[in-house]
Amino acid sequence: MEVTAEDIGTVRAFNRFYTGVMGVLGEGLVRSPYSLTEARVIFELAQREDAEVLALRRALDLDAGYLSRMLARFEADGLLVRERAAGDARRQIARLTPRGRAVFAMLDERTAAEIRGLLDGLPAADRGRLLAAMRTVHGILGDRPRPDGFVLRPPRPGDLGWVVERNGALYDAECGWDRTYEALVASVVAGYVRDHDPERENAWIAESDGVRVGGVFCVKRAENVAQLRLLHVEPAARGMGVGAALVDACVRFAAETGYTEIMLWTTALQRPAHRLYERAGFVLTEEDPPVERFGDVIHGQVWRRKL
């Protein structure tokens, strides 16, 4: 999908807005004499006993001359000392002094207080949405390792609406399906709630690092037949084994509950999901003739597995 001028404007607007929220447009960060960049350098130096200046510059992506002038100013103010590395005079080492660590403690305390004030002023639901969005931005744009761990849990308040929303958005983006598919998902979810049999039906939400990354439902199709429905995995979590775990949860639940077979309906378009179903022991048993549905031509398929 091509990046539009509107997309670029959205990012720029967010950058301007968030910079203002965090209060770094004034003369100093958190009412201190230090700029945002200077504070970043102090924070980085405080994370270790000493730091090689070249590594510091690369980590913060700073111009060599700019960083050198900043460190000289910090040294003149008694915040740090610089010296040549033992055994290699070409390497320069920087280390915070006790005064420098006191400045770091002040900046750290004031920053935490400002963030606490920002979060305290939000309702709990809005705070959760904000933190989840921040984790998403960090996970997509950051260089931290993607978390390998995830858990499957029962749906909580708000999860069912999320399932409808994410199915509608993902199938629009990835398949081009229209809102009639989202309407179908909403009716499936509503039927699950309205006619729920807790002894023979279940649902799971996959969560990683506090963020929802997938979901699935296991419902009664017939007296001895269970149906797997609405399997979805968020794009950022694909490859982590989330889909396989959700399918396995359905199969195990259906077998333990006394069904003799589990089935699902999908389309010929969902090839990555087909591989999941095959590995879980499902077999393609029926193919429907093509029909116009969801604003597309759909080739429906039924997959089954004996339990």
Tokens for 275, please give them: 């591989």
The domain defined by 5-121 folds into: Arc Repressor Mutant, subunit A (1.10.10)
Half-sphere exposure of 245 (CA within 13 A, CB side): 20
The tens digit of pLDDT for each residue in 185-218 reads 999 999 999 989 989 999 999 998 888 999 999 9
Q: What is the pTM of this model?
A: 0.58
Residue 86: φ, ψ to 5°: -65, 130
| 291-293 vs 283-287, strand pairing mode | unpaired
List of residues 6+ apart from 238 with CB closer than 8 A: 272
Asked whether the predicted pLDDT for residue 114 surpasses 90, the reply is no
What sign has the CA pseudo-torsion 51, 57, 58, 64?
Answer: negative
The tens digit of pLDDT for each residue in 252-301 reads 999 999 999 999 999 988 888 899 999 999 999 999 899 999 999 989 99
Q: Compute the distance between CA of residue 91 and CA of residue 26 in angstroms, rounded to an integer.
A: 35
The tens digit of pLDDT for each residue in 210-228 reads 889 999 999 999 999 999 9
Distances (CA, A) of 248 to 44, 219, 231, 253, 276: 44, 14, 11, 8, 10
The tens digit of pLDDT for each residue in 83-97 reads 887 777 778 888 899
List of residues 6+ apart from 289 with CB closer than 8 A: none
Going from N- to C-terminal start, the domains of the chain cover 5-121, 151-306
Classify burial at 47, counting beta carbons within 10 Å of its beta carbon; exposed 0-12, middle 13-18, buried 19 or more. exposed
Q: Are 251 and 262 in contact (CB under 8 A)?
A: yes
- The CATH number for 151-306, chosen from 3.30.565.10, 1.10.1740.10, 3.40.630.30, 3.30.70.360, is 3.40.630.30
Q: Compute the distance between CA of residue 210 and CA of residue 129 in angstroms, rounded to an integer.
A: 11
The tens digit of pLDDT for each residue in 223-259 reads 999 999 999 999 888 888 999 999 999 999 999 999 9
Radius of gyration of the chain (CA): 27
Residues in the chain, total: 307
Confidence at 143, pLDDT banded by 50, 70, 90: low
Say if 5-121 and 151-306 have the same CATH topology: no
Q: Quote the percentage of the chain above a pLDDT of 90.
A: 47
